[in-house]
Amino acid sequence: MRRYPVIAIDGPAGAGKTTAAKLLAERLNITYVNTGAMYRAVAFLYSKHGGDPVKIAENLQIEFRGDRVLLNGEDITDKLYTPEMSKLSSDLSAIPGVRRALVAKQREQALLGPIVMEGRDIGTVVFPDAEIKFFLTASAEERARRRKEQFGDPRPLEVIKREIEERDLQDSTREDSPLRPAEDAILIDTTGVPLEQVIEMLMEHVRRRGFNV
C-alpha cells in the first residue's frame, strides 16, 4: 500500500520539536504525530501494572486529540509528562521489541494521510525515505529553560539541564535506532530563535522542496 508524504522532525529533548511540529502541521493542514508520547504511554502502563514492556507496546491503543493523549477514553497527558516518565520512557525505548512494535504503528499513520511526525529516529529508521527531514537542536541551557517553562517544573534549572543531558546521552548511545541526524536531514539550531521564525524557516524549506500534500 502506498504511503502519503511524511515530514520527519527529530532532535534531542527540549529542542522545540513538539511546538514546531504541531504548528507546521497546522499550517499545512495535515496530521501531527508525536511518537515520544507513544514511548511515554508504554512507560506509564508499565509503571502502573508492570508486565512485559514489549507486550504493552504491541497492545498499545492510544488516541491523540489535539494536544491530548487518551488511553481508553481517559486523558492521561499530564501523567505522561513527569520527570519519572521521561526517564522511564527513555529506558524502555532502548528495548528492540518495544521499538519494533511502536515503529510498526508509526508507519501505519502514513497510510491514512500526510503527516508531520516528531521523534528521535523518524528520519533514520521509521521513514528513511521521508520527503523532508528536519533535525532541530538548541543549547542545553536553552533546552532546560524551555522544559522548565513548558512544564512549570519547579526544580532548579541546573537539575533539569543535567537530566536532559543524561537522557540525550542515553538516547544517542543506545544500540537500536540511536538519536542522530539522518545524512540528508536539514539541521536547524533554534537557540535564541523565536518560535515564529523557526516555523518560517521550516515552511521555507517545505515550499522550496515543493512538498505536496
For ligand DC, what does the binding mask look like between residues 45 and 74, x meaning CB under 6 A? ------------------------------
H helices present in 93-213, as ranges: 96-109, 140-151, 157-173, 195-208
Query: Where does this chain touch ligand DC (CB under 6 A) — which range of 32-40, 53-61, 158-166, 189-197?
Result: 32-40
Neighbouring CB atoms inside 10 A of 90's CB total 23
Write out the three cell numbers for 179: 538519536
Looking at 171, 198, 199, 202, which residue binds ligand DC (CB under 6 A)?
171
Amino acid at 189: D
Q: Is 89 in the site for ligand DC (CB under 6 A)?
A: yes
Q: Is 13 in the site for ligand DC (CB under 6 A)?
A: yes
Q: Is 109 in the site for ligand DC (CB under 6 A)?
A: no
Q: Is 119 in the site for ligand DC (CB under 6 A)?
A: yes
CB of 213 to ligand DC, least distance (A): 22
Nearest to 165, CA basis, from 189, 139, 191: 139
H helices present in 29-138, as ranges: 35-49, 53-59, 77-80, 83-92, 96-109
Distance CA 213, CA 89 (A): 32
Distance CA 186, CA 202 (A): 9
Distances (CA, A) of 129 to 4, 44, 54, 101: 11, 31, 26, 20
Rg for the chain, CA atoms, rounded: 16
Query: Where does this chain touch ligand DC (CB under 6 A) — which range of 20-28, 36-44, 45-53, 128-136?
Result: 36-44
Amino acid at 67: D
Q: Is 121 in the site for ligand DC (CB under 6 A)?
A: yes
Q: Is 142 in the site for ligand DC (CB under 6 A)?
A: no
Of 32 and 39, which CB lies nearer to ligand DC in the complex structure? 39
Of 120 and 133, which CB lies nearer to ligand DC in the complex structure? 120
Number of chain residues interacting with ligand DC (CB under 6 A): 14
Q: Is 35 in the site for ligand DC (CB under 6 A)?
A: yes
CB of 102 to ligand DC, least distance (A): 8
